[in-house]
Structure 1
Amino acid sequence: MKNTSFLRAACMLALFTPLCSIAQTTVTGPIFTDGPGYRRFSVGVNGGLLAPVAPTGGSNDFTKWKAQPGYGAYVKWQILHSLGIRADYIGGKLAGNNDRKLGNEKEPNRRLNSFETKLKWSGSLNAVVNVATINWMYRKNALQIYLSGGAGLANYSPKISTQTSGGLYEYKRGGSITEFYVPIGAGLKFKLSEAVNLDLGYTMHYVDGDNLDGFHFGPNKDKYSYGYAGLEFPLGPRNKPQLGWQNPAKVMYDELKAQKANLQRELETSHAENVRLSADVNKLLADADGDGVSDYFDKCPGTAAGTKVDGSGCELPKVTEPKAPTQVIITDEDRRIVRNAIQNLEFETGKSSIKATSYASLDRLAEMLKTRGFSLKLGGHTDNVGNATKNMALSKDRAESVKQYLVSQGANPSKIEAVGYGAGQPIASNKTKAGRQKNRRVEFTIY
């Protein structure tokens, strides 16, 4: 039957289905398909030889084929590392005769002597699969082995000659022939540079008809082959690599290696930070003279064991005999010092740390507490923004922070009481910014 070769070609094309399926199911993720990072499109031109013969299916209806020049071009889109779509164009000429005597001089059916077919154009759409790459353990390869298969249309004009006439005449008068065909091919590609690749290939074309050579003879349909050499030019910026040349296994290996190095650096940095924090904690806990005040804050180091000290680590005055209670009179000057301390008191936002701008007025308050012998109650307050439990803790911490500072300046800690009230005692509306600012305060009460 005349469709035997065509069926064989269709079967060979079917072999590409599992290859394409593997490429789609195993090659996934940005390592393989990072479009913005790779060049995907390319164009190619080539030249070679056309012949009315194929390794599978044999020659056409003449006993001797002649190799003739051919030319081609294509546009390619690389979808994945191992799979691309290519649109091919081929043109040229096919020729053959019956010079090889195979008993045809005795066969009346072989009435023709030679043919010459102009392949005006042939266009096909092909899937191109990279089945092997060389230098597997390197990110960029230098050689590819690929297979291709697809479908297309060919337009051609056969001319034939009989054994008697000798001259060529048109097989189909007044027009050309257009037939469907299946191309099956293989090739090698060499990377010459980032700008050009060398492409060597061979493609068999199985035509769905028996008119390519202008002669109906035998059971098989016609076919032709094209062996070529050409150049491929990738499109896009040269600083981006070609997707088809990237080695997915090596890219993955390099990225895992980089992640391991980053993790090692993070662990080393974390260890160094832990060592530094441990040293800072030990420094804060150190108390060489055992007076209960850290060496970091101790203004009177070396006090004798058992000595009672104030908040700065200095010895408290010794009371030889109890003194009669004296009446405490609070003057206007005392009240002014307290007001200045309240007005100038500022904390870091959301913290209990006192700003340095508050130190001067607090120093005067501490001096007054030491010389005048007053007792002081500190009441911390907040606005109602945020968690109530955290606000209560913040108000208490701020009151305690003021107490610790006054004690560090020589005030008697036993005469200072620090209390936190949270947002429970507002002095203004919490619905306005100005009201909330007034509610965030520490009240000073001397007695």
Structure 2
Amino acid sequence: MKKTMFRWVICVMTVLPLASVAQNSDPAPNPHGSLFGGGGMNYRTFSVGINGGITAPSVLIGGSNDFTKSLISYGYGAYAKWQLLHFFSLRADYMGGRLKGDQSRELGNGANPNRAFSSFETRLKWTASLSGVFNFASINWAYKKPIAQLYASVGGGLAGYSPRITPTGGTEMEYKTDGNIKELIIPVGAGIKFRLNDFMNLDLGYTMNFLDADNLDGYKYGPSKDRFSYGYAGLEFAIGSRTKPQLQWHNGPAVMYDDLVGQRDQLRRELEAEKANNEKLAADLAQLQKDSDGDGVSDVFDKCPNTPSGDKVDGAGCSLPKPDTARPVQVIITDDDRRLVKNAIDNLEFATGKSDISPKSFASLDQVASLLVRKNLSLKLAGHTDNTGNRTKNMALSKDRAESVKSYLVSKGVNPSRIEATGYGQDQPIASNKTAAGRQANRRVEFTIY
């Protein structure tokens, strides 16, 4: 593995000087570029990259894992990227390497921690992830072709690794006998990219990987999950025709500036041609806006001039018929209505200790919903419990049960603004809580229609 890393470093050191020279012979940008990109028609949208760098079992945001000192080790990776927009892309990453740590860092009192394991070394066999990458600062007002940009990424994937741990005073051993662990990871990263030419970019980045478990260092100490970081340098190679620029370096304002320069003279000629018509348009507009009787309809379209002030008019400026003042219809709540509500109360049941309504109560609640909709009535729901259990939980349960009834009635077409749901907990009993029958009576939801 170390030989592979050395070969990779030699490759990077060899290619970088060539890339710097190649930058002086950039192909001319595509003349058909547009303000917000052009997809595969005008730009190169696919690229691949390789990188190498250092790893550590700790991150800048979230700290380290279960060992007091994170040791620096090495890592390597590769990726394929699809640039969907000039500021957003999807990137599939592969990464491998090693992670190390020990308990050599002292505590605040100057003593070393007394823990069961003294060190660990984890072989990170692979990570595979898919991330969304957001480009920043690709807009450059000083240069039409930016040379640097910031980016941030977030995604998800899997990691496969095998930890080896050393007990305090013992010898190194496998953390798990099968030696293979696969877990979910969430990579969150940031970096800066330099455009060497229209074919190659220098990529400097830092990624924090958060695992969905506590196995990375082979030691479960504390409630937090493990994480590790990867700081790297690498090269990115654009795929496609060299005559097309990379979409990720597309500078929208620069393209817009060129377009505006080309349109400026044409716009000036059009404005001069329209100048002669402006006075005539202003006169026509004044005539259209003239409204002698103030009814809101221009004299040009007013079929009924001199409309009395205050009258509402139609589109032709004629007075609308004045509506009769109608008395509001009084809704009467009958004894049958009250019996229907009482029947719903008597049949209302909930799951024990929960706010779920029993299906056997649906029929009577449907009748209440129909009554509220038909007569446009309002309803107050008051939830109550017995004194069994915690007072705070009883208060919450009574409120939840009243809200459950309200939600059911609203689902049947009742206006939610006409239903008030309140919970009183165990504070308003109607029977003694010393008997089972009394407690049963106190567990209720009261209905009040008005």
Q: TM-score, normalised by structure 2?
A: 0.50
SS in 2 for 1:221: coil
SS in 2 for 1:258: helix
SS in 2 for 1:136: coil
Aligned amino acid, residue 243 of structure 1:
L
| Residue equivalent to 1:146 | 151
Q: Does 1:77 align with 2:82?
A: yes
Q: Does 1:175 align with 2:179?
A: yes
1:413-428 equivalence runs, <5 A? none
SS in 2 for 1:133: coil
| Residue equivalent to 2:135 | 130
1:117 aligned residue (113, 122, 136) = 122
| Residue equivalent to 2:246 | 242
Q: Does 1:93 align with 2:93?
A: no
Aligned amino acid, residue 202 of structure 2:
L
| Residue equivalent to 1:206 | 210
Deviations 1:130-176 (A, max 9, x none): 122363343311110111111111000000011121x2211010231
Q: Does 1:217 align with 2:221?
A: yes
- Contact preservation (8 Å) 1:116, 1:159: yes
1:181 and 1:263 map into 2 onto residues whose CA distance is 55
CA 1:134/1:255 → structure 2, altered by over 3 Å: closer, same or farther? closer
Deviations 1:342-374 (A, max 9, x none): xxxxxxxxxxxxxxxxxxxxxxxxxxxxxxxxx
Residue segments in structure 2 that go unaligned for 5+ positions in a row:
1-32, 273-450
Aligned amino acid, residue 63 of structure 2:
G
SS in 2 for 1:113: strand
- Contact preservation (8 Å) 1:33, 1:79: no
| Residue equivalent to 1:194 | 198
1:230 and 1:265 map into 2 onto residues whose CA distance is 52
| Residue equivalent to 1:411 | none
Q: Does 1:233 align with 2:237?
A: yes
2:86 and 2:36 map into 1 onto residues whose CA distance is 6
CA 1:88/1:104 → structure 2, altered by over 3 Å: closer, same or farther? farther
1:275-314 equivalence runs, <5 A? none
Q: Does 1:31 align with 2:35?
A: yes
SS in 2 for 1:33: coil
Q: Does 1:61 align with 2:57?
A: no
Following superposition, the deviation at residue 266 of structure 1 comes to: 9.7
Following superposition, the deviation at residue 261 of structure 1 comes to: 4.2
2:142 and 2:85 map into 1 onto residues whose CA distance is 19
Following superposition, the deviation at residue 187 of structure 1 comes to: 0.3
Residue segments in structure 1 that go unaligned for 5+ positions in a row:
1-28, 269-447
- Contact preservation (8 Å) 2:105, 2:112: no
Q: Does 1:160 align with 2:165?
A: yes
Q: Say how many residue pairs are matched.
A: 238
2:139 and 2:53 map into 1 onto residues whose CA distance is 26
- Contact preservation (8 Å) 1:134, 1:142: no
Following superposition, the deviation at residue 32 of structure 1 comes to: 1.3
SS in 1 for 2:262: helix
The CA RMSD measured in Å over matched residues stands at: 2.3
| Residue equivalent to 1:328 | none
- Contact preservation (8 Å) 1:73, 1:90: yes
- Contact preservation (8 Å) 2:57, 2:70: yes
SS in 1 for 2:233: strand
Aligned residues with identical type, % of pairs: 55
CA 1:138/1:261 → structure 2, altered by over 3 Å: closer, same or farther? farther
2:269 and 2:143 map into 1 onto residues whose CA distance is 26
SS in 2 for 1:95: strand
SS in 2 for 1:244: helix
Following superposition, the deviation at residue 76 of structure 1 comes to: 0.6
SS in 2 for 1:228: strand
1:52 and 1:242 map into 2 onto residues whose CA distance is 35
1:164 and 1:104 map into 2 onto residues whose CA distance is 20
Deviations 1:75-127 (A, max 9, x none): 0111111111111111000001111132797865x110110000000011111
Structure 1 range deviating more: 219-228 or 127-136: 127-136
Larger of the two Rg values belongs to structure: 1
1:252 and 1:82 map into 2 onto residues whose CA distance is 16
1:48 aligned residue (36, 46, 53) = 53
1:193 and 1:249 map into 2 onto residues whose CA distance is 20
SS in 2 for 1:32: coil
Q: TM-score, normalised by structure 1?
A: 0.51
